[in-house]
Chain A
Amino acid sequence: MSEKTDTATASTDTTTSTKSETAFGGSLSERWEQLRGREGTVVGLTAIFVAVFPWLFARAPVISDFVQGYQSLATLILIWGIFAIGFDLLLGYTGLLSFGHAAFWGGAAYASGIVAKNVSGDPIVMVVSGTLFAVLLAWVLGFLSLRRGGIYFAILTLAFAQMMYFMAASPLAFLTNGENGLTGVEVGSLFGMIHLEADIPAFGGMLLGTWLYAFVGLFFVGAVAVAYRILNSPYGMVFRAIRENEQRAEFVGLNVWRYKLMAFIISGAFAGVAGSLFTIHGSYVPLQSLFWTESGDIVVMTVLGGAGSMFGPVLGVGLYLYVENIVSTIQALTIPFTDIVLIKDFGFYWHLLLGAIFLVVVWVVPDGLWGILSRIREFVSAKLGGDR
């Protein structure tokens, strides 16, 4: 994504010869190339995707029968998508592997749930308080963990997140309800009038389904817009510079440590928004939301989809949750249109399937599913642009 943006940036610069050539070419694919880098285009396309996704996934004739999607999973994919976009700012762009992001996801989930139980169940209050908690926590944990680099940083984040898990499991059980998870979270209505679990009436309902999805969708579009802004701000460039050559970044006069802390806090904020929405979505916070497996999942999703691209991680999230929730329910794998059973209890092996996909992707296309798509796109545009 970012590379393409740079080409778009470059095309406003009329100094070098190659660029003025592109400016003269007016074919459809070139005009598209210029448009696709703009913020409005990116946000607009995201909004269109968010609008049609649940319909295609859960309600469209033929397609939805084939994919077997359902509304609540569509919402969950967007929630994890927000988490993954933020995580990728840290992993893909800044080059920092955190193995403790469950702390921010689960921490925000608990914070918003506890606020809902004790203060206010207003969804906006819940999101704001959960996110605030995650940001403060990311500040502290980042401050402590970023003292070390590489594997030590990963281990430190993991250790802190596991501390949170054990704290929630027993010493803080009076707040968190321990092993049972935080039950009885009552999410209030939005602006005092919209019940999030209710269906949207008329055409909007056909497309989006529930108000909850629309609410989450707005945050998703917002997350994309903010992430896009960040990546095209000086920060985006500094983050990549740190990833590429941390020592050089320090020796051009950048305060690398503070930029890394900012990257960590920003990704914590995205995880916080997502975690809070997760509580609103389920009206429940499982203790597992703080467990290290959640930290592992977000790493796998991000790498699977393509670390270092903006939308890749969302693809990774989609595939992961799809396999976890839908493929895992398949009783027996049959040859299409027949009753010949290939594998019995196929769904039971969903972890194995996901592992195999992950391995193949990492071996064959290290830049993930998004890398595959980019290559296809480049191939097609080369074919289209070939007759110029």
Chain B
Amino acid sequence: MPLLETENLVKEFGGLVATDDVNLTVEEDERVSVIGPNGAGKSTLINLITRRLDPTSGDIRFKGESIVGLDPHEVVQLGVSKSFQTASIFPDLTVKENAEIAALAAERGAFGFEFLKHRNSLTDVHEVARDTLDSVGLLDRSDTVATDLPYGDKRRLEIGIALASEPDLLLMDEPTAGMSPEETKSTVELIEQVKREHGLTFVLVEHDMEIVFSVSDRIVVLSRGGIIAEGTPDEIRGNEAVQEAYLGGVEL
């Protein structure tokens, strides 16, 4: 059984078909990248899976169960986490609190009634938050207010928040968008390290070809909302349709 499966997924905005009959499967322990030119429908696809958008038709199954009809937080509770294209963090909270929020949701569920309990006593939450910050390399910045971090670190924190939810599947929407070459390099290292340490299954949406080819097991190419090619990095590299549609015929 695949971990994630979309079946004939369609999303239309007015007359525009942003996602056109997409059948995507992601197996457990698989690293899949979704690439495609601007406007190919990559972000829409991610937003459909995270339930930010309602599909026009089709089904999305996670661990065999349909998630169409769930709220975004319910999908996260099932084990699908997302890192955003921008540094979507909690700016006025400390780095530690940023991670704790995510760990709280993962450890204690979507909602609880513990409003008279001191949060120092939530040791499980603190442990998860600590481990996460350690693995994204922000543990020594724990007490920094998130907004004071440099941009690259904000993005690291963003990925950290997604990891602290302890997901079975991580969706990363352009994790290196807007980064300097050094920041990009360290983010790639981070992704590879996370892949090694946590054995995480992830779906990566990315523009940067270098990253895509180095971290993915399989690449899915979208164009005008539909899948035009699918295969290992080597297969995609040699695929003519991909070069035509996406790379404009440039030799890789």
Binding site for B on A (CB under 8 A): 6-7, 9-10, 12, 15-16, 18-19, 39, 226, 229-230, 232-238, 240-241, 244-245, 247-256, 258-259, 262, 266
Query: Does the CB pair A248–B89 fall under 8 Å?
Result: yes
7 residue pairs of the A-B complex, CB under 8 angstroms, read A234-B112, A241-B93, A247-B88, A248-B89, A249-B90, A253-B102, A258-B111
How many whole Å from A221's CB to the nearest CB in chain B?
A: 16
Contacts of A266 in B (CB 8 A): 115
Is B73 a contact of A244 with CB atoms below 8 Å? no
Check B117–A234 contact: CB distance below 8 A: yes
| Interface residues of B, count at CB 8 A | 45
> Smallest distance from the beta carbon of B75 to chain A beta carbons, Å?
8
* Complex Cα–Cα for A121 and B142 (A): 53
The stretch among B16-24, B25-33, B118-126 that forms the contact with chain A is B118-126
B50 sits at the interface (CB 8 A)? yes
A250 vs B70: C-alpha distance in the bound complex, in angstroms?
Answer: 12
B contact set with A: CB distance below 8 Å: 50, 71-73, 76-77, 81-82, 84, 88-94, 96-97, 100-102, 104-106, 108, 110-112, 114-120, 122, 125, 139-140, 142-143, 161-162, 164-165
Asked whether A248 lies within 8 Å of B110 as measured between CB atoms, the reply is: no
> Which residues of chain A are within 8 angstroms of B88 by Cβ–Cβ distance?
245, 247-248, 251
Which of A15, A233, A254 makes the CB contact (< 8 A) with B117?
A233
Q: Enumerate chain A residues within 8 angstroms of B142, measured Cβ to Cβ.
A: 10, 16
Q: Are B101 and A237 in contact (CB under 8 A)?
A: yes
Taking a contact as CB atoms under 8 Å apart, the answer to whether A250 and B72 are in contact is: yes
Assess the B90–A241 pair: CB atoms within 8 A: yes
Contact of B105 among A236, A240, A254 (CB under 8 A): A254
Knowing A226-B116, A234-B104, A248-B161 touch, does A253 contact B93 (C-beta < 8 A)?
no
In angstroms, how far is the closest chain B Cβ from the Cβ of A207? 30
CA distance A258 to B77 in the complex (A): 15
Would A240 and B110 be within 8 Å (CB), given that A16-B143, A234-B104, A255-B73 are in contact?
no
Given contacts A7-B143, A241-B93, A248-B89, 13 further A-B contacts (CB under 8 A): A9-B120, A16-B140, A16-B142, A18-B143, A233-B114, A233-B118, A234-B117, A237-B100, A248-B90, A252-B161, A252-B162, A253-B76, A255-B73
- For residue B90, give the distance in angstroms from its CB to the closest CB of chain A: 4
What are the residues of chain A within 8 A of B161 when measuring CB–CB?
248, 252
In the bound complex, residues from chain B placing their C-beta under 8 Å from that of A6 are 94, 97, 143
- Residues of chain B lying within 8 A (CB to CB) of residue A16: 139-140, 142-143
Interface of A is mostly: helix
- A residues in contact with B116, CB < 8 Å: 226, 229-230, 233
Give bound CA distance, A255 to B122, whole Å.
19
Beta-carbon contact of B90 and A245 below 8 Å? yes
A251 CA to B172 CA in the complex, in Å? 13
- How far apart are B112's CB and chain A's nearest CB, in angstroms? 7
Give CA–CA (A7, B125) in the complex, Å: 18
Query: How far is it, in angstroms, between the C-alpha of A157 and the C-alpha of B112 when the chains are bound?
Result: 25
Are A240 and B90 neighbours in the complex by a CB distance under 8 Å?
yes
Asked if A10 meets B143 with Cβ closer than 8 Å, knowing A240-B92, A254-B101, the reply is yes
In the assembled complex, which residues on chain B have CB atoms less than 8 Å from the CB atom of A251?
Answer: 50, 72-73, 76, 81-82, 84, 88
Assuming the A-B contacts A248-B161, A252-B165, are A234 and B90 also in contact, with contact meaning beta carbons closer than 8 angstroms in the complex?
no
**Bound Cα distance A232, B111 (Å):** 16
Contact A244 B93, CB 8 Å, known A252-B105, A254-B73, A258-B111: yes
Q: How far is the CA of A10 from the CA of B84 in the complex (A)?
A: 28
Is A240 touching B93 in the complex (CB atoms < 8 A)? Answer: yes
| CB <8 Å contact, A245 and B89 | yes
Contact residues in B for A254 (Cβ distance below 8 Å): 73, 101, 104-105, 110-111
User: Which of B104, B105, B114 has the most C-beta atoms of chain A within 10 angstroms of its own C-beta?
Assistant: B105
Give every chain B residue within 8 A of A245 (Cβ-Cβ). 88-91
Contacts of A7 in B (CB 8 A): 143
Contact B122 A234 (CB under 8 A): yes
Q: B111, A234: Cβ atoms under 8 Å?
A: no
Interface pair A253/B106, CB less than 8 Å apart: yes
CB distance from B145 to the nearest CB of A (A): 9
CA distance A10 to B101 in the complex (A): 16
- Closest beta carbon of chain B to A279's beta carbon, Å: 27
Asked if B90 and A238 make an inter-chain contact with CB atoms under 8 angstroms apart, the answer reads no
Kindly identify which residue among B104, B117, B143 contacts A238, using a CB–CB cutoff of 8 Å: B104
Q: How far is the CA of A6 from the CA of B97 in the complex (A)?
A: 9
Do A253 and B140 have beta carbons less than 8 Å apart? no
Q: Are A252 and B117 in contact (CB under 8 A)?
A: no
Q: Is the CB of B104 within 8 A of A237?
A: yes
Give the docked Cα–Cα distance between A15 and B164 (Å). 20
Tell me if A232 and B118 are in contact (CB < 8 A). yes
The answer to whether B118 and A253 touch across the interface, beta carbons within 8 angstroms, is: no
> Assuming A226-B116, A253-B76, is B101 touching A241 (CB within 8 A)?
yes
Query: Once the chains bind, are B77 and A253 in contact (CB under 8 Å)?
Result: yes
Q: Which of A15, A19, A235, A249 contacts B115 (CB 8 A)?
A: A235
